[in-house]
Chains A and B, each alone.
Chain A
Amino acid sequence: MASRTAPATQSPPIPAGLSRDQLLEIYRYLRLTRTLEERLTALYRQSKVVGGLFRSLGQEGESVGSAYALDRGRNRDFLSPLIRNLGSMLVMGAEPVQILRQYMAKAESPTRGRELNIHFGDLERGYLGQISHLGDMIPVMAGVALTFKLRAEPRVALVYIGDGGMSTGTFHEGINFAAVQRLPLVLIAEYNCWAYSTPPAKQFATAHLADRVRGYGVPAVTVDGNDVLAVYEATRLAVERARRGKGVHAVEVKTYRRKGHAEHDDQHYVPKEELERWARENDPIDRYSKRLLDSGWAEQADLKDIDERVRAGVDAATDACVDEPAPEPESALPAVYASPATAERLWFRGL
């Protein structure tokens, strides 16, 4: 099946308009995403992670490449990640220690233990946390983009959707709304071959996710999601056009979910050879490293040095928070509303 392999899109020449420092920075975000998730896996096995653990193994390239195409300067663009877009949050400035605290439900976590995993946002850094209900962030990010348009700010909103999540009604309402309003919104549609155990053929009847959004008048391209520079380049073009008032644009990234839906899922429904082939031949970090080395933009020692510094950073972040306290029980009550400031403590707790 052609759709279950990466498309043979033209990869942009290295450096794709990027400086050597930027090329290495992209490498660092890729490595950081993977190393941090590997640390979370270790903490999960030690029962230090409170709930489930979701990996983006094999998909780091599309998260990092797409977010890297945003303006992170004074007029910060804005994104909303999904569960497998840790890399995009790191690019926007989320700190490893915040991620670790979230997963371990620490008092000092960004949501003070209220929400799980990477469900958190930072309006300053430019990302909005998702809720579990798939599709819900599409209309919300349309609203973010609408504000940019109303205020005539040259900013763009970027939002992710999975090959499963695109089946929700909310997705379709949101993308159509944004298209009609010609909002500066960029959609990253992730074709990673699975939605939990469900393959694309049971999710939609077109060959590509791009085919579906074109029906709303949204220009869409399909790229090799495991070629980080191809994703970067396609997103950069989409962002540029959206910024120039040309409305919603979509980039479909073909990739592969190499772990189960979450850590508990043994993926018995996944063909083993297919999984092994993607791991062996199409790992986004292996591919990017090789390109950097082959084209002379980096030496093995440069990459090794980044790997080591990333590991040291993740070690330090882990040490900093692993023994931190859980939230105080009564801290569950405040801030349901702006006013009243706290919810009522029920009568039986006073007995």
Chain B
Amino acid sequence: MAEVTYLEALRQGLWEEMERDDRVFILGEDVGIYGGAFKVTEGFVKRFGEARVIDTPISEAAIVGAAAGAAHMGMRPVAEMQFIDFISCAYDMLTNYVATARYRAGLPTPLVVRGPCGGYVRGGPFHSQNVEAAFFHTPGLKIVYPATARDAKGLIKASVRDDDPVIYLEHKWLYRRIKEQLPEGEEVLTPIGEARLAREGRDLSIISYGATLWKSLEAAEQLERDDGLAVEVLDLRTLLPLDDAAIMRTVKHTNKVLIVHEDTRTGGLAGEIAARINEQAFEWLDGPIMRVTAHDVPLPYAPTLEDYVLPQTDDIVKAARWLAAY
């Protein structure tokens, strides 16, 4: 076993897939000699060469489009967005071309688009975004969002091996904050489409993913300590397709649900999750399905403002208390 960060786990996963399968290649801005803005691909160009670690022009649509063409031809491209905020420049390629390729033309398009997401880092409105909701609405794409180091590794490997296009969202607030013991010399794979029970409890369920998974766990511990509440926490890990079975299992176990995400409220994933619970487990509920999310504003830069807009541990604690008492 060795202790690795979330970032290092992701890096290892990518590295291992490059070693295992020579169809895998990386393309993106400054991924070569610089090793990527956050150093996820540090050392890759030295090991795998410039042909498999391609520094591209600042052209996100071309990066994703070229990845799609290569994927059709049997390659396994992994495209990096320097910050996930710039994936909007490739929105057309992803939603119109990539997502529909199999359905309309039977074209396999096994590619991964990955990049750093999220706030809590004083990045301002264009270096803090969460983009899952923008793609969640598009059949044909898969979306994964690891919260742990193990899943950072397990999901990148599974994404590379998946036969469909996967958007792999990695949280930059977790990059170096999260550390975990991972086995050496043993394959770490996280199946796409499976949520993970991060904490067991019987009083209330919190459903979350990404950075707020950790804030939810922190809240759960505080609630156990201060209120004697046993809070269950479900880490979704894959956002598209959602793991309905795992969601309903926890609902039926605790009968109360709080959905927590860092993305803004309106049109965020919590709405869809709540609708599914309503359809599939309504009679099991002992309270309303509640949401803790970001406020519906662009993410501001000043620490006081960012802290106000984003959901904090204290918000989760208060919301859970309210729901527990319902």
Kindly supply a per-residue 1/0 record for chain A positions 97-113, scoring 1 wherever the CB is within 8 Å of any chain B CB and 0 otherwise: 00000000111000101
- Whether B30 lies near A131 (C-beta < 8 A) is no
Name the segment of B16-24, B241-249, B299-307 touching the other chain.
B299-307
Q: How many residues of B contact A (CB 8 A)?
A: 48
Whether, in the assembled complex, B293 has its beta carbon less than 8 Å from a beta carbon of chain A, the answer is yes
B215 → chain A closest CB, angstroms:
13
Whether, in the assembled complex, B297 has its beta carbon less than 8 Å from a beta carbon of chain A, the answer is yes
Chain B residues contacting A273 (CB-CB under 8 Å) are none
**C-alpha spacing A288/B182, complex, angstroms:** 59
- Whether A202 lies near B57 (C-beta < 8 A) is yes
Whether, in the assembled complex, A349 has its beta carbon less than 8 Å from a beta carbon of chain B, the answer is yes
- Whether B301 lies near A196 (C-beta < 8 A) is no
Name the segment of A70-78, A164-172, A220-228 touching the other chain.
A164-172
Name the segment of B84-92, B150-158, B164-172 touching the other chain.
B84-92
- Whether A114 lies near B305 (C-beta < 8 A) is yes
Q: How many residues of A contact B (CB 8 A)?
A: 46
Q: Which secondary structure dominates where chain A touches chain B? A: loop
Whether, in the assembled complex, B142 has its beta carbon less than 8 Å from a beta carbon of chain A, the answer is no
Name the segment of B109-117, B118-126, B201-209 touching the other chain.
B118-126
Chain B residues contacting A344 (CB-CB under 8 Å) are 295-296
Which of A113, A197, A332, A343 sits near B33, CB closer than 8 Å?
Answer: A197
**C-alpha spacing A347/B290, complex, angstroms:** 10
**C-alpha spacing A132/B58, complex, angstroms:** 13
- Whether B57 lies near A204 (C-beta < 8 A) is yes
Whether, in the assembled complex, A215 has its beta carbon less than 8 Å from a beta carbon of chain B, the answer is no
- Whether B89 lies near A132 (C-beta < 8 A) is no
Per the 8 Å Cβ criterion, residues 105-158 of A in contact with B are 105-107, 111, 113-116, 119, 131-134
- Whether B85 lies near A132 (C-beta < 8 A) is yes
Whether, in the assembled complex, B178 has its beta carbon less than 8 Å from a beta carbon of chain A, the answer is no
Whether, in the assembled complex, B127 has its beta carbon less than 8 Å from a beta carbon of chain A, the answer is yes
- Whether B88 lies near A115 (C-beta < 8 A) is no
Give the residue name and chain of the A residue nearest to B318 (CB): A351
Chain B residues within 8 Å of A, Cβ to Cβ: 29-30, 32-34, 37, 55-62, 82, 85-86, 88-89, 122-127, 265, 290, 292-293, 295-298, 300-305, 307-309, 311, 315, 318-319, 321-322
Query: What 6 A-B pairs have minimum CB-CB distances, sorted nearest first?
Result: A113-B302, A167-B57, A132-B126, A197-B34, A329-B308, A105-B302
Q: What are 15 A-B pairs with beta-carbon distances under 8 A?
A: A114-B125, A115-B125, A133-B85, A133-B126, A134-B58, A164-B57, A169-B62, A170-B89, A197-B32, A198-B29, A332-B297, A332-B305, A343-B295, A348-B311, A351-B318
List 11 additional contacts besides A113-B304, A133-B126, A351-B321; criterion CB under 8 Å.
Answer: A169-B89, A196-B34, A197-B32, A198-B30, A204-B57, A269-B33, A332-B297, A332-B305, A343-B297, A345-B295, A348-B290
